Amino acid sequence: MSSPVIFPFKSNIDLDRKSNRHLYLQLCDQMIGFIKSGKLAPSTKLPGSRKLSEDLNVHRKTVIAAYDELMSQGWIESIPARGTFVSQDLPIVNPKKLQNNDISNRTSETVGFPFKKRKHLFRKEIETMQAAFKIDDGVPDHRLAPIEDIAKTYRNITKKTHHRALLTYGDIYGNIELRKALVPYLNQTRGLKITIDNVLITRGSQMGIYLASQLLLNNQNVIITGNTNYMTADNTFTEAEGIIKRVSVDKQGMNTNEIEKICKKQIISAIYVTSHHHHPTTVTLSAERRMHLLQLSQQYNFAIIEDDYDYDFHYSNAPILPLASNDTHGNVIYIGGFTKIIAPALRIGYFIAPKEVVDEAARLRRILDRQGDTLLEQTLARMISNGDVQRHSSKVRRIYKTRRDLFCKLLQEKLGDFFDFEIPKGGMAVWVKLKKPYHWDLVITESRKQNLTFINDWKRYDNDNSGHNGFRIGFAKFNEEEIYNVIEILETVMKVLELKAV
């Protein structure tokens, strides 16, 4: 080991006392830089902590913390009775080149192997970046998410050493505490009668739809959906190689007599239903049709995939309980989650079904995602048990109701000559039909000129190409001021189109 300390630390180290980064980490960063650049060679003796702290005018503990950190990373080493030195074996990995090939001509488009491309998953790219306002098909206002509560609860959980166990591979059914918390939560709010064996945690409702379709639809099995229907669900069924048959949707929801007719002619495996508010038209499946559908499912042995994505958002009187609450014969796979109540990025949902189905879905989930985000799931479990989620859900329900009322009032007042719509009983969107002679293609093109874009292609709702001219417009994510702005732009757009039509 060489010994003299010749490196001028005092003039070379520059610590920013206003920075958010700890001083000891700044010191580490700079010393690592000197080591990497060769200014501090291996075996160089470093000044003692007292001397360096005096030179840099920092607390001695800062230097000790920096040395500890550098030592734990392997940049420096301590030799008893001799001092601290730059390590002889630096933790610098210099990977060897495979060959001296020139890859400079390769672009991000270069691909050297064939792979399966799925036409049904292709989506038209829609230019949305520059617009001041973006119309979606009904997403929550993520600005309202209780991020502080989530962070606080998460932090409290990670502080407890025994929770470290959550960091390893865990249960493929999802976090046990969350499954336990969901049992009373779903039984009380949705009238279900489940036990923990019926609960699989998923990453949002979409994973539930995917798992259900993979279990039910291989080999060209038939699934019935509404006409029109939630496009991503349709794509998921096509991906599972199911055959989609459609029945009409009217003010009572999906037409169950049409479903019965199909059942009389052929075997069907499943029905996909957004019973609370049909996606996209927002109508509620009537109690009578719910009972009819359940009776058909028992008679013809098919599964009902009940996607209850927005159950928590009902604005008038009490909502009708889900089909799953009346499922006496185990025909319903009930899917829901917290992405709409809290925020889309909080990817936690649930798949509720008879135990045998849950077991199989868990095995399938294992090869896709192994397990969920256990710490976040534990956080949510805590927030359900202490009532935070329920309180937040009531709060946003009230806010969205006010937004729905304002949006629909202005839509009627300012755009009633152009648009037909029913006030939705719940949810986060309005199903709007354009009166003749207008067309969404024109509205969308003109809106872009006015700094408003539609992030979805209107054709996604026209899955049998009937040209029904309906569009689902989300209102929930706009605050009051934004609602006024959006309606004003739409009004300008429609007036321009009106002039053009004359």
User: Which chain residues interact with ligand PLP by CB under 6 A?
Assistant: 204-206, 230, 274, 279, 307, 309, 337, 339, 344, 349
Going from the C-alpha of 70 to that of each of 36, 74, 264, the distances in angstroms are 13, 6, 74
The nearer residue to ligand PLP, 84 or 235, going by C-beta atoms, is: 235
Distance in angstroms (rounded) separating the CA atoms of residues 65 and 59? 10
DSSP assignment of 391-423 equals HHHHHHHHHHHHHHHHHHHHHHHHHTTTEEE--
CA dihedral 388, 390, 392, 394 (to 10 degrees): -150
Residue 235 CB, nearest approach to ligand PLP (Å): 12
In 176-277, which residue ranges form alpha helices assigned H by DSSP? 176-190, 204-216, 231-239, 256-265
Phi (first) and psi of residue 304, to 5 degrees: -105, 115
The nearer residue to ligand PLP, 47 or 226, going by C-beta atoms, is: 226
The nearer residue to ligand PLP, 44 or 225, going by C-beta atoms, is: 225
C-beta neighbour count of 59 within 10 angstroms: 12
If we measure between CA atoms, which residue out of 370, 369, 389 comes closest to residue 379? 389
Bridge partners (DSSP) listed for residue 306: 273, 334
Phi (first) and psi of residue 219, to 5 degrees: 65, 40
Residue 87 CB, nearest approach to ligand PLP (Å): 49
**Tally of CA atoms within 13 A in the half-sphere of 112 that contains its CB:** 2
The nearer residue to ligand PLP, 30 or 393, going by C-beta atoms, is: 393
Residue 337 CB, nearest approach to ligand PLP (Å): 4
The nearer residue to ligand PLP, 47 or 280, going by C-beta atoms, is: 280
The nearer residue to ligand PLP, 34 or 313, going by C-beta atoms, is: 313
Sheet holding 470-474, edge to edge: 419-421, 429-434, 470-474
C-beta neighbour count of 229 within 10 angstroms: 26
Return the residue nearest ligand PLP (CB atom): 204
Bridge partners (DSSP) listed for residue 79: 83
Distance in angstroms (rounded) separating the CA atoms of residues 442 and 125? 17
**Tally of CA atoms within 13 A in the half-sphere of 26 that contains its CB:** 15
**Tally of CA atoms within 13 A in the half-sphere of 33 that contains its CB:** 10
Cis amide bond preceding 228, omega within 30:
yes
Residue 132 CB, nearest approach to ligand PLP (Å): 23
Distance in angstroms (rounded) separating the CA atoms of residues 206 and 350? 10
Going from the C-alpha of 425 to that of each of 277, 307, 319, 354, 478, the distances in angstroms are 8, 17, 9, 31, 18
172 in Cβ contact with 365 (< 8 Å): yes
Residue showing tokens 């927030």:
383
The nearer residue to ligand PLP, 75 or 350, going by C-beta atoms, is: 350
The nearer residue to ligand PLP, 174 or 349, going by C-beta atoms, is: 349
Bridge partners (DSSP) listed for residue 432: 421, 471
Residue 454 CB, nearest approach to ligand PLP (Å): 15
The nearer residue to ligand PLP, 70 or 145, going by C-beta atoms, is: 145
SS3 category, 310? coil
The nearer residue to ligand PLP, 170 or 344, going by C-beta atoms, is: 344
**Tally of CA atoms within 13 A in the half-sphere of 352 that contains its CB:** 29
The nearer residue to ligand PLP, 58 or 376, going by C-beta atoms, is: 376
The nearer residue to ligand PLP, 47 or 322, going by C-beta atoms, is: 322
Residue 442 CB, nearest approach to ligand PLP (Å): 26
The nearer residue to ligand PLP, 337 or 424, going by C-beta atoms, is: 337
